[in-house]
Structure formats: structure tokens, C-alpha cells
């Protein structure tokens, strides 16, 4: 009973167990189960926290790692040794006219070179200050450029200002351990149409670039007789300014002298410093003539910015010394640079000694030019040959040596980063407008320069490839140093690592390989094989970068990245990365696009990669297989042949029903109009886009032909030749126009501020590829051989005649040519790829 009472309890809590009484088995299990679930929950929570922390730090690490990849250089040994451009290793190329952005100047191939240059101005002119220094289209010179330049030892340039001509000559002499001596000679002559002999001030200067020192030596109160200096790369040196004479061995002329000795925070400031040091207090008083006040350098007075707190320039200041000589034409003046380590100097390189040396170099240049290009043997006139020499000389004289850091960004960077410091030895497209390196231009440049001096081509390619990061990306526009950056609009400075450029360096490599295979014993070709061996590890990564980052939506298709994203403002969003800027692509950029020109570039590149690998005894089968697949004409037709257009075409999300219309801005009644935004031109889309062929006939349509991807018996060649020769499509008396006259976007503006660029004008680089391709198809058996030969003769003649005629009439080789009149237009001088006219004259492909 008692037990029973204890067990049966209703409505009351059970009495506490006695101390010696153990809990029941059921209660023990229940408690243990609750404890186990709690522990599991705690353990899971701790585990999740630890995992989340690990994942968080791993994600941070990976993002940081991915963010740093864009500024991490390739791990393979550089193609060039660190001191390959130094005076000890390459003394004959150490000094040069490596400042293409100025009318006349020289520097060394070293990161912090002492630079030298010349400015000038006409005294007593209608313009207050007409100082010339950096090449500017706004100066409106009648013409300027190198008439002769061998890229190594001498150069002769003619600068035609409004009423006088300056001839700038230089010649180098090897000796010592720092690149030897050089002398400049400037000859000034008035134009026959000028009513009176102009008085000109020449300003010769030397400036240090963070390293080295300069000291002025003044005689006769104001005349800077010489500058002595020293730097790590040059040792001790002396620059002597000789007095002007009427001509060689003639008596001295009356001249007024001034000088400026100051400092500069950067080379891009030199013009401004001189401008802000000019003073009108000096008197020009020739023995026979009136006394007149003239403008000359005096004391540098930095400009004051009223009511503006300008950030101070924190860069290290370097020495800057200017010698001004003011003299009436005609006259001649010489500047002599002498290296302190040139101990056995036979004589000074001035006067008649310099003349003899110049004449010797000119004779050697002329002989080599004819041997290389054979224009005399092709019965070209002496005027045509002079033009050909100028085309080559301007490209050689436009070689620049740049040093600095690009500004880059990847999708993993919130802000742009500075790329590692690097050097670039490269030709430039235009001394006035594009005085810096452009990746796709350089391949065309080196097609010409490799014929003249393969060593220049090897060094230029090596410099470009050494700028590659670990991903295999090379910034396509090289803006290195403050001087280069000062010429570039801010929106173009940052380079993005998903953006490519046509890999035209493979064209130059193809030329080097052909030279090696055809003349294996020739001394100029001997270094090519070891060069390719050092290049190959980076070349593999470069090719792989294109083959993975620029792929298209279908197997073996390709798509340019980096198209303009603001489809509201552009009639057709630009594709700067393709090199063809505003050439019509799919109207609505998308990941579904396929670009035929990039497909052909990859077909070419894979074939050249196979050739190089085979030459080096490296595995080549994969490259060969890629080349075979990408060159398969059936695949090409399947991906890019438009039956509607009967031409090769891009594919994408596209409509032709687009136009630029004035934007409608609503202004409430009674409100002043000027308080509201200005109406812009914006894109109007009248019909929705759909996936289709783009059907724009022009340069892009020709790429399977231009890069020899089409088989010689391909029936597609018949359509291409027909379109090329049709005056209502691509044919003009001046070369092939970039976009068919029948295309809806022919010569249409892309925005209210962007004039048509690749939408009609004649471009020489693509015309060169067309002439080269016609030459190729006219020399191999096929049903279109005769048609190719006839087109070749006609197109080649038209291009040469027009580029030459425009040069004679205007004094310049131009960026592009008007397809209606043949007139040169755009940047000038443009002796980048437009100089390929010389190769068409020589029939060297």
C-alpha cells in the first residue's frame, strides 16, 4: 500500500528522491539524449563558424590573389637581359632620336636618361609667342619628318615652318664606354616667297630625369658656351654650343644669346617652364639694322593660381638648362656632345669633319636602301624613291624608348593599380597624336622594319612580350612615364586585363622565321633562333590567354571583349579592342557574338605557333591541330558565312533599324529652358534586335582572305573579289574603303562627337594586307589566280599613287585617306602603318 501511494500521485509534484535513491533508467537515457543533441548543436555551430571563417579568409585570400594577378609579371625569364639596352652591351644603339614626341631631341635607352632637345620660335611675328617643341598638329607646319635615318648612326630631318625651313641633322661616333659622341647641325633658310629674312630663336636644352646633374658654363655675360654633367649611365660628359655661321667654314653671324638654368619636376613640364621664363626686355641690335625688343628666356616664374589651392608637385626636381641663340636666316649652328670616357678621340665631330661623316653615312644608307627595296630596279622616279626613303626614315626616326608604369584594372580590383615598372622600345603610329606604343600597330610597324634591320624587330618584340603579366595579358596601349601620360585623355589611361588587341606581332615573327629559313647563313638572321627560344615560354602563355579569354559561345568561335556598354549613346557600340574601333558590329553587345576577324587572327597565330614550336623541337601537335581546325573552310562558313550578304560576317544580337535622334527633354510650363539638361543625340531602336548575322560588308568581311585562311579554290573568293572591285561597295581609285558604300552605317557618326573612323575612309594597313593576299593568291594554283593577279596590279598602283601624291601636295603621310577624294585626313604625320606603302612599292610581302 505504502509503495502504491508513493507511486500514484495526482496533481502534485513528485517528492524529491532520497539521496541514496538512483534515477530510473528511462530518465537517465532521456537526459543523456538531450545532452547529446545539445553537444551536437554546439559542435555544428562551432564547425559552421570555423568553416565560415576559413571560407571568409580563403575568399579574401583568393580575391587578393586574383586582384594581384593583373600586376604580377610573368614568371618566365625575361626575353631581354636586364642590361641589354645599356651602353656596355649595346653601345651603337644607346643614344638615339628616341623622343618621337618632340620635333628634335635625343636620349639614351636608359630608364632615367639625360634628355636633350630643341625648341624654336620666330621673332617679330604677328603671333605673340609661337614656341615649337612637342609635335603638335595645331602648329600647322607645312611639313616635317625624317628624309634619311638609318635607325643607328645618323638622321636628316626637314621642318618646314611658315616662312623658313630648318634642317636638323645628327651623326654619332662610337668610342669610350658610354655610347660615344654625337653632333647636331641645324641649318635655317628662308622660303623664297618670304618678303624678308626671318629672325629665329633656337633653344637647345638638356634636362635630367631624376638622376644626374648639369652645370652651365657662361661666357660673354649671356652666352651659354657649354654644359658639363654626369650621370650613372653616361659618366662625365660635355655639351658645347658652337656659334652660328652663314654656312660651313663661313664667318660667324651676329647673334643674341640668352640662357636659363632652373629645375623641373618632370619632363612634361619643359615647354611650360620655358614659356613662363620668357621676357621681352632684351634688345636685338645687329650691326646693320634697327634695334628691336625680342622675346627670350630670363628667370623662370611659376604661374600663380588665384583663388585656387593647387596641390604641390612632390616629385624630385632635376636640372634643366636652356641655351637660346637668336639669329637672322640663313645660318647654321652645331651642338656637340662629348663623352668623358672617349679617350682616343681623333678630332672633334664638327664642321667639315661632320660633313664628311654625314656624306659617308648617307651613301651607305642609299646603297642599303636600294639593296633592300630595289626601287631603282623597278623604275621608280627619284621623287618616288625620295618618298620611299622618307617613309622608312620616319618610322625609324619615330622609334621611342619609354620607361614607366601602366595603370591597369581587373574585375577583382575596386580601383586601378600601377603595373610594375618596365621599359618599351617601340615604333609609334604618329609623332604628333599617338607618340606611344600600341600593340596591334607594332606588328605592322615591324613588317617594314624587319626588312631593314631584323635586330630592331627582335628587340621591339622582346620589349613588348616582356611586359606580359602572369595571365598572359599585355596592356594594349603603353602609356609609360609622365611625358607620355600628359598626351593622353584620362578615359584612355586605365588598361583592363580582359581586353585584347589583334596579335599582329605574329606577322612580324612570321617574317623573321621566313628570313631565317630562306637565309640560314645570313648574319642578320643568326640571332633569330636563340631569340625564339627565349621568347617561346611567354609566347605560349600569350597564345593561351587569347585562346581562353576571347572564346565565343560555340566551340572554335571567338569574341572580342571590351565593347562599349552604353548602348544608349552609341549608334553602334565601339569595339576598340579589335583595332577597328567603330566598325559596325552587333548593335546590342552580348555574349552570343562571334567575330570573324578574331577567328582569323587565331587561325594565323596557331599556325605560326606550330612553326616556332617545330623549329625549336618543342611539342607542336596541339598548335597544328588548332590551326587545322580554325583554318577549316567548312567551319568558317558554318560560323560566319552570311547567305543573305554573300560575305563573311560577325554574328550577334543585332538590328539595322537604329539611328541617332535628338533626346526629348521635358521642360515644365513656365520653367526657364537653360535650367534643364542640354538635349543630346541618343540612339533610337525602331526594331528589336535578334540573333543574326550582322551583314556589314567591309574590312571585317575580308579577313578570311586577308590572312590567307581561305583555300585557293574556295568559291567564296569569287564573291570577295567581286565586292572588292565594286565601286558601289569597297573599290575606290585610292584603295579599298573600310565599309561598303551601300551599308546603312557608311560614313555615319557614332555619337554627336564621334566622326566616322572605320566607316568609309581608306586605311593603309588593311590595304597592305589586301595587296599581300592578292599577291599570295596570284602565285598559287587555283581558279581565281588570274583575277587575283589583275586586282593586285590595279589596287597596288592606286594605293601607291595616292599616298605619294598626297605626300607631295601636303608634306605628310596620313592616318587615313578620304574614299571620295583621296585626300589625307586624321593624324599626321602618320608614319606608322601608312609607311607600309614602301613594302607595296618594293613588292616585299
Residue ranges of the alpha helices (H) in 437-527?
439-452, 454-465, 482-485, 505-518
Give catalytic status of residue 581 as yes or no.
Answer: yes
d(CA 115, CA 233): 12
Q: Which of 84, 79, 83, 81 is nearest to 542 (CA)?
A: 79
CA 89, CA 526: separation in Å to the nearest integer? 18
- Asked if residues 337 and 183 have their Cβ atoms less than 8 Å apart, the reply is yes
Catalytic member of 158, 169, 597, 815: 815
Report the distance separating Cα 819 and Cα 761, nearest Å: 5
Cα–Cα nearest to 182, from 153, 207, 151, 202: 153
Question: CA 595, CA 20: separation in Å to the nearest integer?
Answer: 89
H or E segment to which residue 45 belongs? helix 25-69
What span, in angstroms and rounded, lies between the C-alpha atoms of 235 and 532?
34
Residue 262 DSSP symbol: E
Sign of CA dihedral 366, 389, 355, 152: negative
DSSP H or E run through 205 = strand 199-207
* Candidate list 139, 317, 581, 592, residue with the active-site label: 581
Q: Is the dihedral of CA 513, 519, 525, 527 positive or negative?
A: positive
CB-count burial class (<10 Å; 0-12, 13-18, 19+) for 663: middle
Indicate if 815 belongs to the active site.
Answer: yes
453, 504 in Cβ contact below 8 A? no
What does DSSP assign to residue 830?
-
Q: What is the 3-state secondary structure (H, E, C) of 19-39?
A: CCCCCCHHHHHHHHHHHHHHH
Q: How far is residue 417 from each of residues 406, 409, 432, 715, measured CA to CA in Å?
A: 8, 6, 28, 50
Q: Within its chain, how far is the Cα of 788 from the centroid?
A: 33
C-alpha cell at 243: 656659334
Would you please indicate which residues are annotated as catalytic (active-site) residues? 581, 815
Amino acid at each position: 500500500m505504502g509503495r502504491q501511494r508513493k507511486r500514484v500521485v495526482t496533481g502534485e509534484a513528485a517528492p524529491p528522491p532520497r539521496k541514496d535513491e538512483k534515477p530510473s533508467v528511462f530518465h537517465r537515457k532521456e537526459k543523456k539524449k538531450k545532452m547529446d543533441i545539445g553537444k551536437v548543436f554546439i559542435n555544428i555551430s562551432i564547425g559552421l563558424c570555423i568553416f565560415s571563417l576559413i571560407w571568409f579568409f580563403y575568399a579574401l585570400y583568393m580575391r587578393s590573389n586574383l586582384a594581384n594577378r593583373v600586376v604580377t609579371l610573368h614568371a618566365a625569364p625575361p626575353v631581354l637581359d636586364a642590361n641589354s639596352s645599356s651602353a656596355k652591351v649595346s653601345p651603337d644603339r644607346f643614344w638615339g632620336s628616341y623622343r618621337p614626341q618632340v620635333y628634335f631631341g635625343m636620349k639614351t635607352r636608359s630608364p632615367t636618361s639625360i634628355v636633350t632637345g630643341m625648341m624654336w620660335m620666330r621673332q617679330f611675328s604677328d603671333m605673340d609667342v609661337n614656341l615649337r617643341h612637342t609635335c603638335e598638329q595645331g602648329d600647322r607646319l607645312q611639313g616635317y619628318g625624317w628624309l634619311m635615318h638609318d635607325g643607328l648612326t645618323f638622321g636628316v630631318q626637314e621642318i618646314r615652318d611658315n616662312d623658313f625651313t630648318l634642317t636638323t641633322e645628327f651623326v654619332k661616333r662610337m668610342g669610350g664606354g658610354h655610347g660615344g659622341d654625337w653632333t647636331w647641325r641645324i641649318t635655317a633658310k628662308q622660303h623664297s616667297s618670304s618678303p624678308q629674312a626671318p629672325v629665329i630663336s633656337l633653344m637647345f636644352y638638356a634636362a635630367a630625369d631624376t638622376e644626374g646633374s648639369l652645370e652651365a658654363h657662361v661666357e660673354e655675360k649671356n652666352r651659354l658656351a657649354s654644359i658639363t654633367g654626369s650621370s650613372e649611365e653616361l659618366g662625365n660628359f660635355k655639351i658645347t654650343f658652337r656659334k652660328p655661321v652663314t654656312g660651313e667654314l663661313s664667318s660667324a653671324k651676329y647673334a643674341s644669346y640668352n640662357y636659363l638654368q632652373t629645375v623641373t619636376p618632370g619632363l612634361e613640364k619643359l615647354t611650360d617652364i620655358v614659356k613662363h621664363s620668357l621676357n621681352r626686355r632684351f634688345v636685338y641690335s645687329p650691326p646693320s639694322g634697327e634695334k628691336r625688343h625680342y622675346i627670350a628666356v630670363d628667370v623662370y616664374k611659376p604661374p600663380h593660381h588665384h583663388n585656387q589651392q593647387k596641390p604641390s608637385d612632390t616629385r624630385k626636381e632635376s636640372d634643366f638648362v636652356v641655351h637660346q641663340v637668336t639669329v637672322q636666316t640663313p645660318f647654321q649652328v652645331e651642338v656637340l656632345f662629348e663623352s668623358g670616357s672617349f679617350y682616343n678621340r681623333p678630332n672633334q665631330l664638327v664642321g667639315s669633319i661632320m660633313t664628311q661623316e654625314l656624306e659617308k653615312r648617307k651613301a651607305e644608307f642609299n646603297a642599303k636602301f636600294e639593296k633592300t627595296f630595289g626601287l631603282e630596279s623597278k623604275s621608280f622616279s627619284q621623287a618616288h624613291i625620295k618618298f620611299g626613303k622618307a617613309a622608312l626614315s620616319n618610322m625609324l626616326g619615330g622609334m621611342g624608348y619609354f620607361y614607366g608604369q601602366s595603370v591597369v584594372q581587373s574585375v577583382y580590383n575596386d580601383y586601378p593599380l600601377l603595373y610594375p615598372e618596365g621599359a618599351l622600345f617601340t615604333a609609334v603610329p604618329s609623332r604628333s597624336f599617338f607618340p606611344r606604343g600600341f600593340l596591334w600597330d607594332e606588328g605592322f610597324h615591324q613588317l617594314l622594319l624587319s626588312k631593314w634591320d631584323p635586330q630592331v624587330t627582335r628587340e621591339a618584340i622582346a620589349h613588348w612580350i616582356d611586359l606580359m603579366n602572369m595571365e598572359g595579358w599585355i596592356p594594349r596601349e603603353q602609356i609609360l612615364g609622365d611625358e607620355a601620360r600628359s598626351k593622353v585623355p584620362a578615359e584612355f589611361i586605365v588598361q583592363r586585363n580582359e581586353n585584347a588587341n589583334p596579335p599582329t606581332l605574329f606577322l612580324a615573327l612570321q617574317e623573321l622565321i621566313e628570313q631565317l629559313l630562306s637565309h640560314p647563313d645570313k648574319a642578320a638572321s643568326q640571332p633569330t633562333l636563340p631569340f625564339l627560344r627565349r621568347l617561346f615560354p611567354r609566347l605560349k602563355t600569350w597564345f593561351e590567354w587569347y585562346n581562353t579569354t576571347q572564346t565565343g559561345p560555340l566551340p572554335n568561335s571567338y569574341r572580342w571583349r571590351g565593347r562599349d556598354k552604353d548602348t544608349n549613346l552609341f549608334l553602334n557600340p565601339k569595339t576598340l579592342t579589335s583595332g577597328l574601333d567603330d566598325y559596325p558590329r552587333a548593335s546590342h553587345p552580348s555574349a552570343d557574338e562571334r567575330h570573324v576577324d578574331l577567328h582569323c587572327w587565331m587561325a594565323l597565330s596557331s599556325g605560326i605557333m606550330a612553326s616556332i614550336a617545330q623549329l625549336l623541337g618543342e611539342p607542336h601537335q596541339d598548335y597544328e591541330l588548332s590551326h587545322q581546325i580554325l583554318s577549316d573552310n567548312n567551319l568558317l562558313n558554318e560560323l560566319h558565312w552570311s547567305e543573305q550578304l554573300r560575305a563573311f560576317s560577325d554574328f550577334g544580337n543585332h538590328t539595322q533599324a537604329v539611328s541617332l535622334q535628338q533626346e526629348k527633354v521635358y521642360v515644365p510650363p513656365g520653367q526657364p529652358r537653360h535650367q534643364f539638361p542640354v538635349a543630346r543625340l541618343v540612339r533610337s531602336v525602331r526594331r528589336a534586335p535578334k540573333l543574326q548575322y550582322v551583314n556589314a560588308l567591309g574590312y571585317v568581311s575580308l579577313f578570311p582572305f586577308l590572312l590567307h585562311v581561305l583555300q585557293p579554290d574556295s568559291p567564296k573568293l569569287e564573291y570577295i573579289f567581286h565586292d572588292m572591285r565594286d565601286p558601289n561597295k569597297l573599290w575606290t581609285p585610292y584603295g579599298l574603303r573600310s565599309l561598303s558604300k551601300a551599308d546603312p552605317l557608311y560614313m555615319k557618326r557614332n555619337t554627336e562627337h564621334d566622326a566616322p573612323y572605320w566607316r568609309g575612309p581608306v586605311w593603309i594597313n588593311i590595304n597592305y594586307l589586301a595587296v599581300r593576299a592578292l599577291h599570295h593568291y596570284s602565285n598559287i594554283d587555283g581558279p581565281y589566280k588570274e583575277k587575283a593577279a589583275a586586282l593586285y596590279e590595279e589596287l597596288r598602283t592606286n594605293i601607291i599613287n595616292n599616298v605619294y601624291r598626297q605626300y607631295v601636295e601636303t608634306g605628310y603621310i596620313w592616318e587615313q585617306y578620304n574614299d571620295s577624294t583621296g585626300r589625307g585626313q586624321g593624324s599626321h604625320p602618320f608614319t606608322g602603318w601608312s609607311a607600309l606603302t614602301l613594302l607595296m612599292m618594293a613588292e616585299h610581302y
